[in-house]
Amino acid sequence: MLNLPRWQTIVILAITFLSVLFALPNLLPPKVLDALPGWYSHNRINLGLDLRGGAHFLLEADLRGVLNERLTNLTDSARAELRKAQIGFRDVTLEPGRAVVVALRAEGDRARAVEALRAIDQTLAISGQGDTIRLSYNEQELVRRKREVIEQSIEILRRRVDETGTLEPTIVRQGDDRILLQVPGIKDTTDLKRRINQTAKLTFHLVNEDVAQGGVNIPASLPATTFLVPTREGMQELRRANPKAYEEIAAANPKPSPEQICRRYQPQCLPVLKRIVVGGEDLDDARATFEQQSGGRPIISFTFNGPGGRAFCAATRANVNRRLAIMLDGEIISAPNVQSPICGGSGIITGQFTTQQTQEQALLLRSGALPATLTIIEERTVGADLGADAIRAGTIAAIVGALLVVVFMFISYGPVFGGFANLAMLVNVLMVFAGMSILGASLTLPGLAGLVLTMGMSVDSNVLIYERVREEKALGRSPFSSLATGYEKAMSAIIDANLTALLAGVLLFGLGAGPIRGFATTLSLGLLTSMFSATIFTRMLFAVWVRWRRPTELVI
């Protein structure tokens, strides 16, 4: 058991050396790190929000608004299906947040109407009596759609906040309609809040020419299929003429709807049809670029996916000589006249953009439109001083814990056996640091607690081995036989104990979030590395020691 081949000794020493090498950047001072190559010095453990400081937001998703938008699209689809089936109806109205109500002209058409409406969406719940049909989503479907909205919002937030993948934000769901966002290392949250609040929702709508040709900027009443949207030029003019009103709109939380802005502040607006011709979800890519034909002004170029390109082509082919409004974040960027079908699957957005604005908008479009408006209901900033205090307290706890373990092992098992166990504990800590550096894991305050616990658990395996060696020695075995048998017979208990604890760590990581995951990461990594340091590494040390000293008696 202790007669290790030379290649095994070389592999163990190589693993130990690499662990020290990858853990070293976390222990070196900044001046030394600056002199080292960037690929090596940047390979360090990220500090979590509670240690590094940063921003903490609790966001609430407007799920009712999402439902109303879906129901609005459902009204248009219901009208189209009924006309297609040549079924007469008096009206299709919306009950906000609840259902779509269809009033038929003849009660005898009810069966055909239900069949046609069910083809829109098989998950719809259809009720009502006589010539009235109510379309709604059942409770199970609403729960599923709400969950999808939150999950999609989390993924989009992750791409917006951390497009480069270096910030290590924590973005988790809380309750049915809330999202917890924590970004370490952020001091000024202005830019972060702007990214969160911007929806970057790109949609294409046809302009209602019948209303627009009336020459009235703000009509007193509009058809049910039409709503008002301010133009970008109109909002810029409002900013110049009435900066107080513009600031009031920008500071509002939640932001007023486009129609509310048009009615209350009366900027230049256009009446557009509610039905979305093509949505931003069909975008394949969006890039900030420059228009070569007009002096290199900044523009946004975009490309549709296959279904989006076909829908855009069909819409422009059917509406030649009509204006198509390009709506971005509740403003009409432009409303060009469709002169011919556009079937290339790509296009550009022009306007009075700066280079920075095109880059920001392209990023937001590329990451996707938020499916629901997110309202910040709680905001906190964790200062770096508080993080420094936590690091100081955690470091003191780790040092005190390590010293207590070192003293206990020396007293219990003597200088040789206790020294080897303490050296294995040091190697284990370095391997944990190296593993977290390679994985890019974040160290949080609970993670520090897990690290302190790992130091205590790393000598558990040595205690099991040493106690078994004592038993074999008491049976009269030789020093070499006692060590070999002690390692061999203790391994089953060591594996069982570590696998049981590792299973708990994996479950904590899989089911937990935030601080719990930080604790589970260091604990699980420490358990894996202790299997190497406490058994394989110390076995190599004892093999070398036995060959060198040839002991006739074990002092343990």
**What distance in Å separates the CA atoms of residue 385 and residue 305, rounded to the nearest whole number?**
48
Q: What is the 3-state secondary structure (H, E, C) of 288-347?
A: EEEEHHHCCEEEEEEEECHHHHHHHHHHHHHCCCCEEEEEECCEEEECCECCCCCCCCEE
- Residues 6+ away with beta carbon under 8 Å from 391: 47, 51
The CATH number covering residue 129 comes to 3.30.70.990
Q: Is residue 452 domain-shared with residue 471, that is, in the same domain?
A: yes
Q: Is residue 345 domain-shared with residue 447, that is, in the same domain?
A: no
Tell whether 150 is covered by a domain.
no
pLDDT of residue 228: 92
What are the structure tokens assigned to 15, written together?
A: 């693993």
The CATH number covering residue 364 comes to 3.30.1360.200
Q: Is residue 85 domain-shared with residue 130, that is, in the same domain?
A: yes
Tell whether 21 is covered by a domain.
yes
Torsion region of 91: left, alpha or beta (phi above 0 gives left; psi -120 to 50 gives alpha)? beta
**What distance in Å separates the CA atoms of residue 96 and residue 288, rounded to the nearest whole number?**
38
Q: What is the mean pLDDT of each run of 10 residues along the chain (556 residues)?
A: 78 91 83 76 74 82 82 82 88 85 88 86 83 86 82 78 64 86 77 70 84 63 87 87 85 79 89 84 74 74 78 85 83 80 74 72 63 82 66 81 90 89 91 85 79 84 89 83 85 87 86 74 87 88 84 73
Q: Is residue 307 domain-shared with residue 427, that is, in the same domain?
A: no
Q: Is residue 475 domain-shared with residue 512, that is, in the same domain?
A: yes
Domains in the chain: how many in total?
3
The residue among 118, 142, 166 that closes a domain is: 142
Q: Is residue 44 domain-shared with residue 107, that is, in the same domain?
A: no
Sheet arrangement for strand 124-127: 89-95, 99-104, 132-137, 124-127
**What distance in Å separates the CA atoms of residue 185 and residue 47, rounded to the nearest whole number?**
9
What does residue 344 show for φ and ψ, rounded to 5 degrees?
-85, -10
Q: Is residue 272 domain-shared with residue 311, that is, in the same domain?
A: yes
The CATH number covering residue 498 comes to 1.20.1640.10
Domain enclosing residue 125, as ranges = 63-142
pLDDT of residue 522: 85
pLDDT of residue 427: 92
From the list 418, 445, 417, 453, the residue with the least C-alpha distance to 530 is 453
Q: Which pTM was predicted?
A: 0.52
pLDDT of residue 352: 67
From the list 314, 321, 533, 316, the residue with the least C-alpha distance to 423 is 533
Q: Is residue 390 domain-shared with residue 353, that is, in the same domain?
A: no
Q: Is residue 133 domain-shared with residue 204, that is, in the same domain?
A: no
